[in-house]
Amino acid sequence: MRVHLGSDHAGFELKQALARHLTALGHEPVDHGPSEYDALDDYPPFVLRAAEAVAAEPGSLGVVLGGSGNGEQIAANKVRGVRAALGWSTETATLAREHNDANVLGLGARMHDLETALQVVDAFLATSYSGEERHARRIAMLTDYEGGGGLPPLPGA
């Protein structure tokens, strides 16, 4: 599977380790930067490129990394067609894929040790979207809103 990666300085070392890990598992990591450590860099240029690549390539997934993963997840969610979720555990990563059809995982390099971070990513990549009607209905509401369709109707309205 092709996995698009983007980070900032705080996620740089984890991104490098993750790329090696993904390659060893037979995945194809695509590194959108940064290509070298710079303590003053900003995450949007790298994360937005990774997210745009995921949106442009159905079937691919993405992982965006920073200190907490929060800003990176927020940035990725600005890209139309991206559903980014913050991964705190293997369970949240699994549910993000199963229930939300998330295609980008936000991960905090300062929040996890390397082994745990790799387990969270592995769980995300190994899980498929369930396609259950209730989840599809909810995703459709969000997709419609994202496309300018307005707010979904309130229940009973």
In the chain, domain spans: 2-129
CB 139 within 8 A of CB 121: no
pLDDT of amino acid 109 = 98
- Cα 30 to Cα 5, 40, 92, 156, distances in angstroms: 6, 23, 24, 46
Residue 157 confidence class, pLDDT cut points 50, 70, 90: confident
Distance between CA atoms of residues 122 and 119, nearest Å: 5
CB 40 within 8 A of CB 54: no
| Model pTM above 0.75 | yes
Catalytic residue among 13, 72, 91, 132: 72
What tens digit of pLDDT does each residue of 138-156 get? 999 999 999 999 999 999 8
What integer is the mean pLDDT of 78-94?
97
What integer is the mean pLDDT of 12-34?
98
Answer yes or no: 99 catalytic. Answer: yes
Backbone CA torsion sign across 63, 69, 75, 81: positive
pLDDT of amino acid 151 = 96
pLDDT of amino acid 53 = 99
Residue 80 confidence class, pLDDT cut points 50, 70, 90: very high
Which residue has tokens 């990513």?
121
Answer yes or no: 13 catalytic. Answer: no
Catalytic residue among 13, 21, 27, 99: 99
CATH code of the domain occupying 2-129:
3.40.1400.10
What tens digit of pLDDT does each residue of 39-65 get? 999 999 999 999 999 999 999 999 999
